Structure 1
Amino acid sequence: MSKARMSPLRSSFVHLALAGYTVIALFPVVLTILNSFKDKNAIFRTPLAPPTAETFSLVGYATVLKQGDFVGYFQNSLIVTVVSIFFVLLFGAMAAFALSEYRFKGNTLMGLYLAIGIMIPIRLGTVAILQGMVAAGLVNTLTALILVYTAQGLPLAIFILSEFMRTVSDDLKNAGRIDGLSEYAIFFRLVLPLVRSAMATVAVFTMIPIWNDLWFPLILAPGEATKTVTLGSQVFIGQFVTNWNAVLAALSLAIFPVLILYVIFSRQLIRGITAGAVK
């Protein structure tokens, strides 16, 4: 069988695998949302059953909205996530373009250095990061979180985007140079539109760790005015007593931005993931 005949089959297999993975991944999300609308007894007695007229309760959502500034936590998470993704995509795409387009001394070493940045978790440098933020006066600010998350997401973004940018036609870029376009114009007007699927993929995979992170908000921005939604949800978890209705309600509200972003970028995300599999 020729490659031309196998390509549609491989494409269908990849899409089927992604659909199956999506169903498995969404199961705990659906379970969390369903249990957030049930009373405490029903959560423990029938966790897999949907809420009924007898078990339906909104006490968790009422508690979340009354206790603490959950709207403020939500706003902080949104600001940190959106700004961090913007800088990761901007600087990551520019660095990836430079590594894939230009040959200079140290190009290979730079790529290796970035690859090491993917393998070594940034949390190993927590103490040094905290000391640097204290010296810079950035503790309990959203700026500290944005800087850390930008640094955290850049290695993977550059690694993925550079591979996609190598597939952009050199003839197209050379034609732009002949027409008098600057390197910036070639980058923003010619290259970026052709790697939108990769940009969407990087955006989704960058957003999820940032939005769900508890470590750096707890270390760098634990103040009431700078708490993120994940850190703010911890107020309902005590050493001896946990308000499960409020915890599930807070987690359900925190899930929606991720789901909305996934729906918006789902087509581009699937294209970016399957780009190398369906050629």
Structure 2
Amino acid sequence: MTNLTLGRTDRYRPRKKRHFKVHPLIWIAMWGYAAISAVPLLIMFLNSFRSSAELIANPWPFTTSPTIENYVNAWTQASFATYVGNSVIVTVGAVVLSTAVSLPAAYALSRWQFVGNRLLQALFISGLMVPMMLAILPIFYLMDSLNLIDSPLSLILIYGANGVPFSIFVLSAFFRQLPVELEEAASIDGSGYFRTFLQVMLPLVWPAVATVAVFRFVPIWNEFLMPLVLLRSRENYTISVGLTTFFSEYETDRASLFAGLVIATIPLLILFILATKQIVQGLTAGLGK
């Protein structure tokens, strides 16, 4: 018995973390790619402090007289505060809706075996193959029949539904990696299905939830065509459609446009800075198993 116990102890001994060495050329290539990718952002940021006349006269993104007037015009006169608020409502609402629907669905599809399980999984995965833009005309008629044209709620429902296949696909892979012994132990302790899901399984997949939320947040925040089709009044515009207010038939307010682009980019940068750790944990979970 002693030998068996020792054998089981050795078998389940935690593994030491492995440290992989990266070739210096790979580091150089990665930092070089990062620097090249940052150049357009830097040019956009520098041009946001220049006047429109200076932008036309001198293409180089440097100025001797920087000004923050462009940000003031964009935030107040162009109603960017309203556009940012609408984008936050639509994006957060859609991400919360799709995640709330996808979590229990992914758990049931990945952990339970029932008639039609494979069919439902194939149905959700097929949703990844159909671009939302192909259904823009039926979506418009559907929202019109529900009296949701020119309403942020229509965008929340559309983006939320569109994000379900991707969220289920990612979350199901994480739920499958969790050991069955967790559910068996919870069942022995008298825990039901919902309590096991909420208190045992859900906390273990938070990195995956954060990864899904970030990957859904970015395309919804930058989406242009659907708000352009469904929204009518300027007070309901999202930030991507609000940028078009700087364009007119005869002239373009380039300086305020650059300031608006910077304002639209800042939330994404903050999101990635705050969620980098969760994204890495979500993308690398299970690689050492």
Identity of aligned residues (%): 33
- Going from structure 1 to structure 2, the CA distance change for 1:240 and 1:263 (only over 3 Å counts) comes to same
Structure 1: 5+ residue stretches without partners? none
Report the Cα distance in structure 2 between the residues aligned to 1:11 and 1:217, rounded to whole angstroms: 44
Q: C-alpha displacement at 1:159, in angstroms? A: 0.2
Q: C-alpha displacement at 1:263, in angstroms? A: 1.4
Report the Cα distance in structure 2 between the residues aligned to 1:169 and 1:153, rounded to whole angstroms: 27
* C-alpha contact 1:40 1:244 (8 A) present in aligned 2: yes
Please give the per-residue CA displacement for 1:183-203, whole angstroms capped at 9, x wherever unaligned. 111111111111111111111
- Going from structure 1 to structure 2, the CA distance change for 1:162 and 1:26 (only over 3 Å counts) comes to farther
Query: 1:143 matched to which residue of 2?
Result: 153
Report the Cα distance in structure 2 between the residues aligned to 1:11 and 1:187, rounded to whole angstroms: 39
Q: Which has the higher contact order (CA 8 A, sep 6+)?
A: 1
Q: C-alpha displacement at 1:5, in angstroms? A: 10
- Going from structure 1 to structure 2, the CA distance change for 1:113 and 1:140 (only over 3 Å counts) comes to same
Counterpart mapping for 1:158-237 below 5 A: 158-237=168-247
Query: 2:72 matched to which residue of 1?
Result: 62
Aligned residue pairs total 272
Please give the per-residue CA displacement for 1:65-96, whole angstroms capped at 9, x wherever unaligned. 33232211111111111111111111111111
Report the Cα distance in structure 2 between the residues aligned to 1:104 and 1:35, rounded to whole angstroms: 58
Query: 2:3 matched to which residue of 1?
Result: none
Q: C-alpha displacement at 1:40, in angstroms? A: 3.1
Report the Cα distance in structure 2 between the residues aligned to 1:149 and 1:11, rounded to whole angstroms: 39
Deviates more, 1:203-212 or 1:184-193: 184-193
Query: 2:84 matched to which residue of 1?
Result: 74
1:8 lines up with 2:19 in the alignment = yes
Report the Cα distance in structure 1 between the residues aligned to 2:282 and 2:36, rounded to whole angstroms: 21
Q: C-alpha displacement at 1:223, in angstroms? A: 1.5
* C-alpha contact 1:42 1:55 (8 A) present in aligned 2: no
Q: C-alpha displacement at 1:60, in angstroms? A: 1.9
Report the Cα distance in structure 1 between the residues aligned to 2:23 and 2:216, rounded to whole angstroms: 27
Deviates more, 1:231-240 or 1:118-127: 231-240
1:36 lines up with 2:48 in the alignment = yes
Structure 2: 5+ residue stretches without partners? 1-14
Q: Secondary structure of the equivalent of 2:20?
A: helix
- Going from structure 1 to structure 2, the CA distance change for 1:61 and 1:8 (only over 3 Å counts) comes to same
- Going from structure 1 to structure 2, the CA distance change for 1:243 and 1:82 (only over 3 Å counts) comes to same
Q: Secondary structure of the equivalent of 2:93?
A: helix
Report the Cα distance in structure 2 between the residues aligned to 1:247 and 1:130, rounded to whole angstroms: 29
- Going from structure 1 to structure 2, the CA distance change for 1:25 and 1:189 (only over 3 Å counts) comes to farther
Report the Cα distance in structure 1 between the residues aligned to 2:194 and 2:35, rounded to whole angstroms: 42
Amino acid at match of 2:43: L
Query: 2:5 matched to which residue of 1?
Result: none
Amino acid at match of 2:145: A
Counterpart mapping for 1:93-172 below 5 A: 93-172=103-182
Report the Cα distance in structure 2 between the residues aligned to 1:88 and 1:96, rounded to whole angstroms: 12
Q: CA RMSD in A?
A: 2.6
Report the Cα distance in structure 2 between the residues aligned to 1:164 and 1:27, rounded to whole angstroms: 36
- Going from structure 1 to structure 2, the CA distance change for 1:240 and 1:8 (only over 3 Å counts) comes to farther
1:270 lines up with 2:270 in the alignment = no
Amino acid at match of 1:144: S
Report the Cα distance in structure 2 between the residues aligned to 1:36 and 1:189, rounded to whole angstroms: 48
Q: C-alpha displacement at 1:32, in angstroms? A: 1.6
TM-score by length of 2: 0.85
Report the Cα distance in structure 2 between the residues aligned to 1:182 and 1:267, rounded to whole angstroms: 32
